[in-house]
Amino acid sequence: MQTPFSPASPAQASADEQRRDILSACRSFFSASQNNAAFVPGETYIPTSTKVLDADDLVNLVDASLDMWLTAGRFARDFERLLPRQLGKHGQALLVNSGSSANLLAVSSLGAQMLGGLGIKPITRGDEVITVAAGFPTTVSPIIQNGWVPVFVDVDASTLNTTLDLIKAARTNKTRAVVLAHTLGNPYRADLVSKWCEQEGLYLVEDCCDALGARIGDRAAGSFGHFATLSFYPAHHITMGEGGAVVPRNAKWKRVAESLRDWGRDCWCEPGQDNTCGKRYEWQLGQLPCGYDHKYTYSNIGYNLKATDMQAALGLSQLNKLERFVAARCSNWKKLYEGVRSSPILSEHIEPVIATDGTTPSWFGFPLYCSQAIDREKLVAFLEQRRIGTRLVFGGDLTKQPAYQNVEFRVVGELKSTDRVMRKGLWIAVHPALDDTKIAYMLDQLEQGVRAQLQG
């Protein structure tokens, strides 16, 4: 057997050398393959979101593929260990195949059958979960898919987030949890919501899919709930192509979510490992015969939501650049905000969304409202014709969406701000691929679009 101090075999040494050569060639290829065409205003499209990749990303991706370990492996273990530190947490994250799967996993964990055995009361069919109508479907759909009743509350129009007072007003004896996203990287006061949830015996899930790097006071968004969820789709702060993660509050919640992610099994062995518990053939669970293989014992109704090591390798490289990406997004948001405020016509007819008091956003986009004098659809068409990407604020009012017309839900309040989001809101880019020339063009065209409507 080879020891740590013995030389590698000739075959292994040759393979290691070939790997180094391949990875060196990847760096050269990346540099040679980049399209460095100059930005042409009105011709070069400015997307609302885009991935920002470098040679390190390609090297990690190819390095993982050379292992031919196609499920989660060494890169996934490192990513799951390092990611919680971004939220000021210890322990281990759970890598999944998308941010939507992360939401499904975190929310479903609140009703897992395993919770009873861990001394935690699960949410059951017909219980209520408070959320907002002005959001993204995959924050809300897992509530419905679990047989629970979403209770929709309004948002504060100035921040796109709800408030603790609005949440409190929706509380009934059926309320069991609060599930909310930090909208477009602008955090809600999860510190206040979390404290109230603890007092009321409620669960909290923080959807941070658009908000990696945001802060509430001196703590990271995602550090307050029983679970935080993240997305690594190419549009997001860091990417692994498709991918996401769940960051649990502690080991007990990790145990539950990991089971649901991995088919609902009771076993917690890593891929390729056996008998981590030391008694694989000694368990007595359910009505199975004593000694039934623990790797094939299921304590939850679960899924298979795992990701690959190639995805994790890309995410691990991207994680090293997160601080720079967040700084660029915030700088770009500030330039757009100051540009709108310094323009007499824009300051009158365009209202940017602002940061929630007591928070430091990690902006995903530059959200804004059109005044009553401006037709949003005409402004969107004007910007898109001039090659500036736009997006509406997700689903607008989800209670108006066709998917929810035959779904049981409850609404508290009139959703006036949600209606404004639906009718007058949109957002444009702040991603790190922007530069001052592009931002100046965006502001100029935004002003021209507004002016064109006012002049009729």
Q: Which structure tokens are listed for 319?
A: 């994680």
Close Cβ partners of 394 (under 8 Å, ≥ 6 residues apart): 134, 135, 136, 137
Half-sphere exposure of 47 (CA within 13 A, CB side): 10
**How far, CA to CA in Å, does 211 sit from each of 231, 329, 333, 365?**
9, 11, 14, 10
Q: Which residue out of 226, 236, 294, 349 is catalytically annotated?
A: 236
Positive/negative CA dihedral, 394, 397, 399, 402: negative
Tell me which DSSP letter residue 40 carries: -
What are the Cα distances from residue 47, in Å, to 103, 148, 234? Answer: 26, 37, 12
CA–CA separation, 238 vs 231, rounded Å? 8
86 and 321 Cβ atoms separated by less than 8 Å: no
Asked if residues 263 and 304 have their Cβ atoms less than 8 Å apart, the reply is: yes
What gap in Å lies between CA 70 and CA 311, rounded to an integer? 10
Respond yes or no: is residue 236 known to be catalytic: yes
Structure-token pair, residue 287? 């009505």
Cross-strand bridge partners of residue 352: 368
Q: Alpha helices of 320-352 — where are they, by DSSP H? A: 322-342, 344-349
Contact criterion met (CB below 8 Å) for 242 and 283: no
| Catalytic residue annotation | 236
